[in-house]
Chain A
Amino acid sequence: MIKTIEVDKLTKKFGSFTAVDNISFSVSSGEILGLLGANGAGKTTTIKMLCGLLAPTSGKIKVAGYNAYLQAEQIRTRIGYMSQKFSLYNDLTVWENIHFFGGVYGLWGKQLKLRAEALIDDFEMRPFMNLTVQSLPPGWRQRIALAVSLVHNPPIILLDEPTSGVDPIARRMFWETIHQISANGTTALVTTHYIDEAEYCNNVLVMVDGKLVAAGQPNELKSLYNSTTMDDVFLSLARNENTKI
């Protein structure tokens, strides 16, 4: 398996506060990895470093073969980002959103046209490609946001709480699509504090107070911590470490 993300002894300090504390992990191509943690556990800081938006205090990060902070430009064109909350322009049509974001990522002319057409077909968006995003139901908006995050064919996508608040069928359609995409080799990194989203990942990492406290498949972690749900696994980890709450 090719490693698309390699993180080695990564640390980030803000003054005397250690936001990310000596974490190491790697992600293979086609893997769906969940990054879990309570507010303040260090998830966002980790993601920012992976995207090259923040310099590590120490440690190494390689994303798609590039050094995350020194080669940030190369990395940004290889990452797609999708959040359920704010990734589309609501007053633009589906077609306009795809073309706008394609342009932002440097696609143009025939190349952009072909890519946009392929996405419209793959995601079955043709019937409403000329409607504004705000006129569509939430489940579809989320699907379009995913399509848009893939416009530049990135090898890695970051999903930030992608299905919180959607109905159970729309959620499953979304995760089936993610599994299809990952079967084609795209790596997905999911950050969430909704543990039910974690159940759909191949592997999960749990962060508490900047440290990596658990890593493995959801089923492995459940049996390791003698729990029936990931929620219980997470709570037992978070509460043990976090006795100050």
Chain B
Amino acid sequence: MSYIEISNLSKSYGKIKALNNVNINVDAGELFGLIGPDGAGKSTLIRIVTTLLLPDSGYVNVLGYNTREDYKKIRGEIGYMPAVFSLYSDLTVQENLDFFAGVFGATVAENYNLIRGVYHMLEPFKNRPAGKLSGGMKQKLALSCALIHRPKVLILDEPTTGVDAVSRRELWELLYDIKHQGITIFVSTAYMDEAKQCDRVALIQKGRVLGVNSPHGFAQMFPHKLYDVYADGIWSFLDKIRALDTCKSAYMFGSNLHYVSTDDAETTETLTNKLHQIGLSGDVDIKQINAGIEDYFIRQLTENAELS
């Protein structure tokens, strides 16, 4: 069953189309990622799903309820962690948690098991005002408050933005635990590398969904041979590489180059020869690789020039 059903959804702000005919289904029990750069429409979509904003056209059903008519029912069943810290800064950790439990008619005691993984790190500070916590601790408190009524669906808007790599990894580990307790998760991020943490991912750019698949599934949708090339001084050859006859596209991938070939007969040998012919000397380390989600995203952006 679809826990979140987003159908032909559009939303404009004046002339700007923030969402353009978006269709996404999130199944029960999934950890689903919404991935796209700043300004892609992620927060708008999340605000519509959480019943805080009405769409211009199309609809969203959450747990079978429509966000327009049945918003009250939805609000009781979801947990929402917005992008900005939205707890009461002058209440203590414990008071915030009690407050949010109370609002949803739950108690901290009955759902303590669910939040223990997140909350145990906060307990030593339970009498501290929330405003005086560090960034990572604030986030853990926000997550605890979003979970304290045991929602069926947990929705998080860019929880890893501005968070350092260690806390980022911790957060994803917490999300796994929460998922394994049977809670469906819908999470947005601007970081491509987080896609691999999700069961399925929707790629979004300029209000349009460019693909929905598992991280592994995107690799199979990539229609060309892809090569990973490492060579000293390769960046000064970029123009010449892009002018090669089999070059669909060539772009940086960290310290390496990704070469997308239009030729199904391309091999590491033929490509090595081409690179030597344009003057790249020394060791050239080439291997054919499976496309990652970022390769797929780049391809979609270049195939749809109006999107980039």
Contact = CB atoms under 8 A, between A and B. Distances in A.
A38 B164 contact: yes
Given A137-B39, A172-B251, A218-B255, A167 B165 contact: no
A180 to B, nearest CB: 8
B176 to A, nearest CB: 16
A230 B164 CA distance: 14
A245 B39 contact: no
A225 B72 CA distance: 51
A239 interface: yes
Given A168-B192, A169-B301, A235-B165, A183 B251 contact: no
A183 B135 CA distance: 38
A239 B168 CA distance: 13
Contact of B37 (A170, A218, A231, A239): A170
Interface stretch (B91-99, B230-238, B273-281): B230-238
Given A165-B161, A179-B235, A196-B193, A219 B38 contact: no
B169 interface: yes
A165 B38 contact: yes
Nearest to A167: B37
Given A176-B252, A196-B193, A231-B193, A138 B38 contact: yes
A234 B165 contact: yes
A195 B301 contact: no
Contact of B252 (A37, A137, A166, A175): A175
B165 A166 contact: no
Given A137-B39, A168-B294, A169-B298, A235 B166 contact: yes
A183 B236 contact: yes
Interface string A183-225: 1000000000111100110000000000000000111000000
A164 interface: yes
Given A199-B255, A200-B254, A38 B166 contact: yes
B259 to A, nearest CB: 14
A35 interface: no
A48 to B, nearest CB: 18
Among A37, A167, A193, A234, the most chain B Cβ lie within 10 Å of the Cβ of A167
Given A137-B39, A172-B252, A193 B191 contact: no
Contacts, number: 90
A198 to B, nearest CB: 8
A168 B166 contact: no
A234 B190 CA distance: 20
A200 B301 contact: no
Interface in B35-51: 36-40
Nearest to A239: B166
A173 to B, nearest CB: 9
Interface string A120-159: 0000000000000000011100000000000000000000
B201 to A, nearest CB: 14
Contacts of A63: none
B308 interface: yes
B297 interface: yes
B80 to A, nearest CB: 21
B155 to A, nearest CB: 20
Interface in A14-38: 37-38
Interface string B77-99: 00000000000000000000000
B164 A170 contact: no
Contacts of B252: 172, 175-176, 200
B39 A218 contact: no
Contacts of A234: 165
Given A179-B235, A238-B165, A219 B255 contact: yes
A57 interface: no
A192 to B, nearest CB: 10
Contacts of B170: 245
Interface of A: 37-39, 137-139, 164-170, 172, 175-176, 179, 183, 193-196, 199-200, 217-219, 229-231, 234-235, 238-239, 242, 245
Interface of B: 36-40, 134-136, 161, 164-167, 169-170, 190-193, 205, 230, 235-236, 238, 251-255, 294, 297-298, 301-302, 308
27 contacts: A37-B164, A38-B165, A38-B166, A39-B167, A138-B37, A139-B308, A164-B161, A166-B38, A167-B308, A168-B297, A169-B251, A169-B301, A170-B37, A172-B251, A176-B252, A179-B235, A196-B192, A218-B254, A218-B255, A230-B254, A231-B165, A231-B193, A234-B165, A235-B165, A235-B166, A239-B166, A242-B166
